[in-house]
Amino acid sequence: MNVIKTDIEGVVIIEPRIFNDDRGYFFESFSERDFNAQVRTVRFVQDNESKSSYGVVRGLHYQLPPNAQSKLVRVIKGAVLDVAVDIRKGSPTFGKHVAVELTADNHRQLFIPRGFAHGFSVLSDEVIFQYKCDNFYAPQSEGAIAWDDPDLGIDWRIPTDKVILSEKDSKHCRLCDATNLFDYNENLYE
């Protein structure tokens, strides 16, 4: 696998090695050994999958300690713009984001470490999105930031009048108003 660093330390794009032939293709979508050696040591405990249609924006979600989550995300059908936002107070990249197009054709994955909010917008007619988490879902630890926070400056690549949100995602606060965030100096992996 090829690991591509982004402008924010810890957030990486992973490109698998694809083997194509007349029958189709094969690739290793995850190897714990390679991931731990090239990205960071993480023990994924939960796999999730969602299906969404064009214009859906999900996010920006996170879980606070002791249930903070890292995620390894990918698309198996369609295309998304996947976004990770640094929400670690004191971080040199606090409030900055990484946005990467993930598609069924490019097979790219994005690793979002603990301390980041995560979301995606659906760019294709339909998408099937899969992700691994290194901690279990814990509703009591949920946090979220407004997807359209102007201070974040995220171009979701969907016209505003075409955005489809859950009721819950339409009510999140801006980052500057969030009270439950991460501390950059806290080791989130101990």
Q: How far apart are CA 51 and CA 65, in angstroms?
A: 28
Active site residue 184: no
Nearest to 115 by CA among 101, 130, 95: 95
Q: Which residues of 174-188 are buried (b: 16+ CB within 10 A; e: fewer)?
A: ebeebeebbebeeeb
Q: Which one is catalytic: 62, 97, 107, 131?
A: 131
How many helices (H) and strands (E) in the chain? Answer: 1, 15
Q: How far does CA 38 lie from the centroid of its chain?
A: 18
Q: Which one is catalytic: 61, 97, 118, 172?
A: 61
What are the E-state strand segments in the chain? 2-5, 12-15, 19-21, 24-26, 46-53, 57-63, 71-77, 79-86, 88-89, 97-103, 109-112, 116-122, 126-133, 142-144, 182-183
* Beta-bridge mates of residue 182: 88
Whether residue 133 contacts residue 43, with contact meaning beta carbons closer than 8 Å, is answered with: no
Tokens 């409030």 found at: 95
* Beta-bridge mates of residue 84: 98, 118
Active site residue 61: yes
Task: Cite the active site residues.
Answer: 61, 131
